[in-house]
A = this chain, B = another copy of it.
Amino acid sequence: MKKIDKLVVCGVGLIGGSFALALRRAGLVKRIVGVGRRPEPLEAALQLGVIDEVSTDWAGALDGAELVLLAVPVGQMDAVAAAIAPHLGPDTIVTDAGSTKRDVIEAVYRHFGAQLANVVPAHPIAGAEKSGPTAARADLYQRRKVVITPLPENDPASVARVRELWAACGAVLHEMSPQEHDRVFAAVSHLPHLLAFGLVHDLAGRANAEQLFSYAASGFRDFTRVAGSHPEMWRDICVANRHSLLAELDAYLSELAYLRALLVEGDGPALEAVFDEASRARNIWADKAFPVSPSGE
């Protein structure tokens, strides 16, 4: 596979940093330039060997770049696209790691009119409850899914290049439409995050919060793990995907209204039927998706 002479990573946190480390470990990149809003993560990424140099100048950073990865919170994608579009060479490929796709693609259409052939939207599905360059790992994407949502305007060669680089990071490639992507991840990722943030927020505001937390055990720990995630990143995802997320939240509120009615009636058999169906579905899925449970116990 052809090496990348120059890779530009915009946002050198867990996602961007791990992409850089994985390509470096695969021997597929000669030079990695980091760009970002704040100097501290860039300095940390430099010292950790995640990137080779820091740039504060878009024109210089993008000059001769073969690939640009945008790994910033999705709320920043519009500003970043606006900033880089004037400096992109005709052969530079741009991809992103945004957790939502319709909003990112809207920003792409707003700013990359001339370069749409080479702008390939994507989303690596990798847990991000730890953030920052110190959390980056060369093996983060091993056996993880990366969803590509190609544009009709994309050059198939650019899509193939993005696919092969993610595959070199160990990822398993999938393709979906942006609409389908945003609906699916509203259900299995964005809603659980919102629900976990909400539960912890509710309890943390109680007068007896300290007592409540002192009796919370491993079930609570796992249920709320995603509530430890990066607040700005999740603000952006929830705002960007709020239409799909609201549809999922409303479906869930209907489910809770049903369960609430069963509790009011003390309807044990109906509650057990729900729990039994959920328990079977969850365990069948988990045994298949995580053959050796990394959650221990």
Contacts and interface: CB of A to CB of B under 8 A. Distances in A.
A39 B212 CA distance: 39
Interface stretch (A51-59, A89-97, A181-189): A181-189
Nearest to A270: B235
Contact of A227 (B255, B256, B282): B282
A201 B272 contact: no
Interface in A165-186: 184-185
A232 to B, nearest CB: 6
A224 B266 CA distance: 24
B251 A202 contact: yes
Contacts of A230: 279
Residue of A199, A205, A239 ringed by the most chain B CB atoms within 10 A: A199
A253 to B, nearest CB: 7
A281 B197 CA distance: 10
A187 B217 CA distance: 12
A227 B200 CA distance: 18
Contacts of A260: 246, 249-250, 253
Interface stretch (A1-9, A27-35, A41-49, A284-292): A284-292
Given A215-B185, A236-B268, A279 B222 contact: no
B218 A127 contact: yes
Interface string A150-170: 000000000000000000000
A86 interface: no
B271 A239 contact: yes
Contact of A266 (B212, B227, B239): B239
Contact of A285 (B185, B216, B231, B296): B216
Contacts of A225: 219, 222-223, 286, 295
Given A184-B212, A187-B212, A263 B242 contact: yes
B226 A219 contact: yes
A282 B249 contact: no
Contact of A277 (B204, B249, B255): B204
A278 B192 contact: no
A188 B297 contact: no
A202 B232 CA distance: 28
13 contacts: A125-B217, A184-B211, A196-B278, A199-B255, A201-B274, A202-B255, A219-B225, A221-B289, A229-B275, A234-B271, A242-B264, A249-B263, A253-B260
Interface of A: 75, 125-127, 129-130, 144-145, 147, 184-185, 187-189, 191-205, 208-209, 211-213, 215-232, 234-236, 238-239, 242, 245-246, 249-256, 259-260, 263-264, 266, 268-269, 271-272, 274-279, 281-283, 285-286, 289-290, 294-297
